[in-house]
Chains A and B, each alone.
Chain A
Amino acid sequence: MHALMLPHSSHYDEMLLSSGAVRPHYQGFAEWLQAQTPEALSRKREEANQRFHRVGITFSVYGDESGAERLIPFDTIPRIVPAAEWRALEAGMRQRVKALNAFLHDIYHDHAIIKAGIIPAEQVFTNAQYQPAMQGIDLPDQIYAHITGVDIIRHADGQYYVLEDNLRVPSGVSYMLENRKMMMRLFPELFARHAVGVVDQYPALLLSTLRQASRIDNPTVVVLTPGHYNSAYFEHAFLAQQMGVELVEGRDLFVRDDHVYMRTTAGHKQVDVIYRRIDDAFLDPLAFRPDSMLGVPGLLSAYRQGNVILANAIGTGVADDKSIYPYVPEMIRFYLGEEPLLNNVPTWQCRKQEDLQYVLEHLDELVVKEVHGAGGYGMLIGPVASEAEKQLFRDKLAADPAGYIAQPTLCLSSCPTFVEAGIAPRHLDLRPFVLSSGKDITMVPGGLTRVALKAGSLVVNSSQGGGTKDTWVLED
């Protein structure tokens, strides 16, 4: 028997009501859980840890001098999503990603949404992520974001909200796949009792998306990594291997006559599609940061000539920027003529005087984020912040209001999770991965569930001690 600490009624729990009753889609799991001894489950967790270490599913932490590699803590209680909820999420993400691609094409071509007065021009053109070099370049099927990671949370009202669209180099999909592999290894009997949607086909879908991104018939695809000291290197190597394509570093590639080649033991070979896991700024030292050793000199020129495809395209960052995020519902209406299916989080844009006023007056209730921040760094969580932290942000807001947005403190939903004291509710989010090609938009049923392991914490990022769970989308 396991004593499950009950969730607080102030937020939504994926498995339990605050009375302790189990939600219908968790019934089967709850029965199974109660039939296991704590010792057996603890052995399984130990087995999982050892295996992750052996397989080397680790990440390196920036600033850790020892260069040690850490495991992202893995929790063996899955996050279960009912079939009907997933269908709604899937339709919403499809719509959203379609609109975001249309937006990117528009701002690098005719600027219709700006001319229509829906988004202020300066919000786009003065954005650091906007790449003037992309103006007027025609991409096959007008796809900019081939791979999108959509961060979704569930609020206390039981509704899903999109927190962020990751259109640059979203990571984490390897953990989605490895977590599933691990759960099936540890608890095969659970999969016999539940119809869990299959996610294994993701690398095949990704490869087909990348191949379709090119106008060429049988394109040569590669994965471009910053190298094996990068924190996400495991994922780069994993995806390259699963797709059966070369994993290259910048120094393996060179540009001649506006075509990209890789250096091989049998001479040069032309490269047609690059799934790049390097930020825009590091792609080409001739065009962007001249001190970058990670990129390929001349790559931008080859790209502009249409001789190589980059996935994602250069300059997608402008569309997932926190200052553009508030406009996504408008984009959906403008480009698709549809009402948004997924909720956006209400957002105050501190660049607007009246919004800034409101934010300063309600600092206790709000989350303030840097517009260009990522990874959970540089944000203020009002309800738990100290007076000194709040003062720091008041100063920051006064100095650079346009650099910040604020949102209500969303109560991320929780899910029972193994902690030292037993099983307790911990907050989590969900990142499904959406693949876009000219033909269709596809995704596997599932995603990466990240969980904040500290009691009460809302920060799920692995760089700040977050863990992960397997995500089960049930089939009807």
Chain B
Amino acid sequence: MMLSRTADHLFWMGRYMERAENLARLLEVSHAISLMPRSHNGGAEISAPLALTGRLEDFQSRHDGTEPAQVLHYMAYDLGNPASILSALRSARENAHAVRGKISSDMWMSLNASWLEGRKLAEQGEDFQWFFDWVKERAHLFRGATYSTMRRSDAFYFLRLGTFLERADNTARLLDVKSHLLPDQQSADSTDYYTWSTLLRGLGAFEAYHETYRDTLNGKRVFDLLLLREDMPRSLRACFDEIRQALAQIQGDNGRPARRLATELNAALEFTAMDEVFDEGMHPFLRRMLGEINRLGESIQRAYLEAA
């Protein structure tokens, strides 16, 4: 049992920290791909993060063209952009501040320092790649502090709900952007190799791919890995499983609709094969999943987070 407002802050604290990390990963991938020699595609690639976060229009109203450095600055450091990494770090810290009595001091200090130091790095105009690595490290540190110091109570599970709902949303969006690159058959094209390897590296899944498939990179398998594999921590399936488990741990009967939905989604992916996904079409499938994730979020909101 906890205050609904407290649960709400914990949920969003988890979401924003996860968002900061995902943004760093996304920008890293886009940055790397935009540097490819066949750079006629570079402009589209670097503006992908803007489209993905719904900030393209706002960005265009402030800047002429899409210079990579401008896009990266806007998405990494600009506090005027609510979807930037620094804004996410600030929001995570603000939510933590409102419930600092409910989290361990290790967690609070890690989030507080991430915001204070992040702001300093932004002021200094720190090199982007260095900043992205730093953000990932801060996310790891926060996760580590959470796992090793936070009591396994409702607070912990609301934090996890926020984390994995955000991650599910992010994985689905990221794959959706790449779905048009999916070839029908195995491709040996070096550009594609670069795209898929960059994507996998960005998601920290490069090694896992090779361990799992022991074969060259191909888009279909990349999608299999990141959609259906339950042993991949950033896959859609793994996120649904985590959400289902977290909901099962939270006390009280308020959350039945949310629990049912999470269980259904998890089961649906468990018994889905990649061929069926391709039959439906990758893009329609992912749009449907994004809709379900949204529904799940709303149902959690209604059950626990809104003032009773």
A, B from the same assembly? yes
Q: Which residues of A contact B (CB under 8 A)?
A: 53-56, 227-228, 233, 237-238, 240-241, 246-249, 251-252, 262-269
Question: For residue B305, which residues in chain A have a CB less than 8 angstroms away from its CB?
Answer: 265
Question: For residue A228, which residues in chain B have a CB less than 8 angstroms away from its CB?
Answer: 94, 97-98
Report the separation of the CA atoms of residues A56 and B250 in the bound assembly, to the nearest whole angstrom: 30
Closest beta carbon of chain B to A57's beta carbon, Å: 11
Report the separation of the CA atoms of residues A266 and B113 in the bound assembly, to the nearest whole angstrom: 33
Q: Are B308 and A269 in contact (CB under 8 A)?
A: no
Q: Are A264 and B116 in contact (CB under 8 A)?
A: no
List the 3 shortest-distance A-B pairs measured between CB atoms, nearest first. Answer: A266-B252, A241-B101, A263-B308
Report the separation of the CA atoms of residues A251 and B5 in the bound assembly, to the nearest whole angstrom: 9
Q: A251-B307, A263-B308, A266-B251 are in contact. Are A237 and B1 (CB under 8 A)?
A: no
B304 closest partner in A (C-beta): A265
Question: For residue B105, which residues in chain A have a CB less than 8 angstroms away from its CB?
Answer: 55
Q: Are A265 and B101 in contact (CB under 8 A)?
A: no
Q: Which residues of B contact A (CB under 8 A)?
A: 1-7, 94, 97-102, 105, 108-109, 112-113, 116, 154, 158, 250-252, 254, 304-305, 307-308
Q: Are A54 and B112 in contact (CB under 8 A)?
A: yes
Q: Are A264 and B3 in contact (CB under 8 A)?
A: yes
Report the separation of the CA atoms of residues A241 and B108 in the bound assembly, to the nearest whole angstrom: 13
Question: For residue B2, which residues in chain A have a CB less than 8 angstroms away from its CB?
Answer: 246, 264-265
Question: For residue B1, which residues in chain A have a CB less than 8 angstroms away from its CB?
Answer: 264-266, 269
26 contacts between A and B (CB under 8 A): A53-B116, A54-B109, A54-B113, A55-B109, A55-B112, A56-B100, A56-B108, A56-B112, A227-B98, A228-B98, A233-B97, A237-B100, A237-B101, A246-B2, A247-B101, A263-B3, A263-B5, A263-B307, A264-B1, A264-B2, A264-B4, A264-B308, A265-B1, A265-B305, A266-B254, A267-B254
Question: For residue B6, which residues in chain A have a CB less than 8 angstroms away from its CB?
Answer: 246
Closest beta carbon of chain A to B142's beta carbon, Å: 14
Report the separation of the CA atoms of residues A113 and B214 in the bound assembly, to the nearest whole angstrom: 91
Question: For residue A241, which residues in chain B have a CB less than 8 angstroms away from its CB?
Answer: 100-102
Report the separation of the CA atoms of residues A268 and B4 in the bound assembly, to the nearest whole angstrom: 10
With a 10 A CB-CB cut-off, give which of A53, A264, A268 has the most chain B CB atoms: A264
Report the separation of the CA atoms of residues A267 and B4 in the bound assembly, to the nearest whole angstrom: 9
A263 closest partner in B (C-beta): B308
Q: Which of B98, B109, B154, B252 contacts A267 (CB 8 A)?
A: B252
Q: Are A265 and B254 in contact (CB under 8 A)?
A: yes
Closest beta carbon of chain B to A247's beta carbon, Å: 5
Report the separation of the CA atoms of residues A267 and B307 in the bound assembly, to the nearest whole angstrom: 10
Report the separation of the CA atoms of residues A28 and B250 in the bound assembly, to the nearest whole angstrom: 55
Closest beta carbon of chain B to A260's beta carbon, Å: 14
Report the separation of the CA atoms of residues A269 and B4 in the bound assembly, to the nearest whole angstrom: 12
B110 closest partner in A (C-beta): A54
Known: A238-B101, A251-B307, A265-B305. 4 other contacts (CB 8 A): A246-B3, A247-B101, A249-B5, A263-B307
